[in-house]
Structure 1
Amino acid sequence: MPAYQIVPLTDPADERLADYLRLTDVALRSKHEPAKGLYIAESSTVLERALAAGHRPRSVLVSPRWLPDVEELLGGSSEGGEPVPVYVGEPAVLEAITGFHVHRGALASMHRPALPSVERTLAGARRVVVLEDIVDHTNVGAAMRACAAMGVDAVLVTPSCADPLYRRAIRVSMGTVFQVPWTRLASWPGGIDQLHELGFTVAALALDDDSVSLDDLAADPPQKLATVFGTEGDGLKRQTIAACDATVRIPMAGGVDSLNVASAVAVATWATRVADQGR
């Protein structure tokens, strides 16, 4: 059986396109996507990385220009399953369905895989990033991209953190969200005890009076390190900082006291990565 079936599309109200409707409604998507067990992959590049990670498409929505790329990605057989419907429509039709100009002319509705346990995610990991209650999907995506670039072994997100598989987060990460093992903690800051049980030293990135410089941490890093980054504006919760083993600050000049959270992730993971490689 072929891996996909091309379906010409002319009607934006086609009931088969329910997965793609009103994608600009953040409040709806943040609840709707996990509940239905799906997420949206935008662009053929992101779809390629999702497929490489073993994720399965429910359907694909594509403009004619990008159809050859999608056909190449979906080529082969469906291994006994039903072929993936590939809905093909002009850009104006796609925009009428989704409510925005579709980046690079392709969207895919993907089956959301079950999240692994914390223990499985951290098996063999030595460098871990924890994102506490980050509410901006762009920041989550940028942080995931930084983690992939700096060789972070795994990422944990707290129960209230934005979804790394939200459409914008995936797009900003350039699909690297599929490269870095990640999962969601069941409780926080209770999850710090779980990290301790797994042998991690937990460092909070915060501007406390008793904080140590990132340079000091990088000069003598622990064998297994989890760094925790807080939400935009307020930073880490006080109870989180109290439960961590150390509080770390990034040395800065020019009267700047803090960085965007994704920038802080990039700086801190670069510093500890370099120190780790030199051991």
Structure 2
Amino acid sequence: MEHTQLRQVTDLADPALDDYLRMTDVRLRSRVEVERGLFMAESYEVISRAIEAGMAPRSFLMNEKWLAKFAPLYEQFPEVPVYFGEESLVAQLTGFNLHRGALASMQRPELPNVEELLRDARTVAVLEDIVDHTNVGAMFRSAAALGVDAVLVTPQCADPLYRRSIRVSMGTVFQVPWTRLDAWPAAGVDLLHEAGFDVLALALTDGAVPLDEVDLGPDRRVAFVLGAEGHGLKPATLGAVDAHVVIPMAGGVDSLNVAAASAVVFWQRRAALAAAAQELRA
């Protein structure tokens, strides 16, 4: 059977390939991908998870040797072009070698509004100005694994749909409902309060309550606010939330990487909910 969707790459100036230009320029890509309404999925596992989550591919790009492996994915979309070529030519286009086999340019989904996202949620994570894509991806993976219902990202937070974030999250950014806040902190905290959430900031402040002393049981709708490493949460955020929470440390260590801290906090909430459910069954 002839695959009419297969298009060999011969001319790097072809406008049809523009989605894949200058992939290593983080600042440019972060802007262009949002403006053009696309994001990039990389590797068989991530592309398949994106498709399973209902994401629509615009095109695929891969080295010629990977055509057979990725056929089960792209053949689901016979109208979508599949660009392929020699490794050196494809690397010249993207700026790096496709060690993970292929890229897929996907249509960026429309994000839900905050009220819609919070309606049925009980546990929420707020990522305040986390600019490192690796941390964003790791936090989404922890959120998915440990039962967080939704994630809110502030206006200055890195894009969860940037290629590195998606890769580190192992595609869980397609699994956990999320959206971007229009304003933070005041308006965002107000929205959480209106939805019935207690807003807890992870912060090394005087008077912060140790995490293992916080009531995280099922009677509370909880939103955890996590800030960028270094300067931490904004003073305005610390003043707007309901309480400051700290993870108890040992060994002279004052804090964890924000991605690691998020996993600890999400686990503590999950454990509290599980303990309460166990008591009800007893």
Which bracket does the TM-score occupy, shorter chain normalised?
over 0.9
SS in 2 for 1:103: coil
> Hey, what's the Cα distance between the residues in 1 that align with 2:240 and 2:109?
31
Any conservation in 2 of the 1:3–1:77 contact (CA below 8 Å)? Answer: no
Q: 1:66: which partner in 2?
A: 66
Query: Residue type of the partner of 1:25?
Result: D
Counterparts of 1:20-31 in structure 2, within 5 Å, are 20-31=20-31
Mind listing any 5+ residue stretches in structure 1 that lack a counterpart? Answer: none
Displacement of 1:171 in angstroms is 0.9
Given that 1:4 and 1:84 are in contact with CA atoms closer than 8 Å, whether structure 2 keeps it comes out as: no
Q: What secondary structure sits across from 1:104 in the alignment? A: coil
Deviation at 1:69, TM superposition (A): 3.3
- Residues 1:177 and 2:173 are matched in the alignment: yes
Counterpart residue number, 2:209: 212
1:156–1:182 CA contact under 8 A, matched in 2: yes
Are 2:75 and 1:87 equivalent residues in the alignment? no
Q: How does 1:1-279 map to 2 (within 5 A)?
A: 5-76=5-76, 83-189=79-185, 190-217=187-214, 220=217, 222-279=219-276
How far the C-alpha of 1:51 sits from its partner, in A, is: 0.7
Instruction: Give identity over the alignment, percent.
Output: 59
Q: CA deviation at 1:256?
A: 0.6
Deviation readout 1:43-102 (Å, 9 max, x if unpaired): 111111111111101100012332223220233466xxxx00001112222211111122
Gapped regions of structure 2 (runs ≥ 5):
277-282
Measured in 2, the distance between the counterparts of 1:241 and 1:266 equals 21
* Cα pair distance change 1:108/1:77, threshold 3 Å: closer
Contact 2:74/2:82 (<8 A) preserved: no
**Partner of 1:94: helix, strand, or coil?**
helix
The count of corresponding residues between Structure 1 and Structure 2 is 274
Question: Secondary structure of 2:151's match?
Answer: strand
Q: CA deviation at 1:4?
A: 7.4
Q: Call closer, same or farther: CA 1:233–1:211 in 2, change over 3 Å.
A: same
Runs of 4+ in 1 over 6 A off after TM superposition: none
CA contact (8 A) 1:128 1:227 kept: yes
Contact residue 229 and residue 265 of structure 1 kept, 8 A: yes
Change (3 A) 1:186 1:272: same
- What does residue 280 of structure 2 align with? none
Q: TM-score w.r.t. structure 1 length?
A: 0.94
Give the letter for the 1:39 counterpart. F
Amino acid in structure 1 at the alignment position of 2:207: D
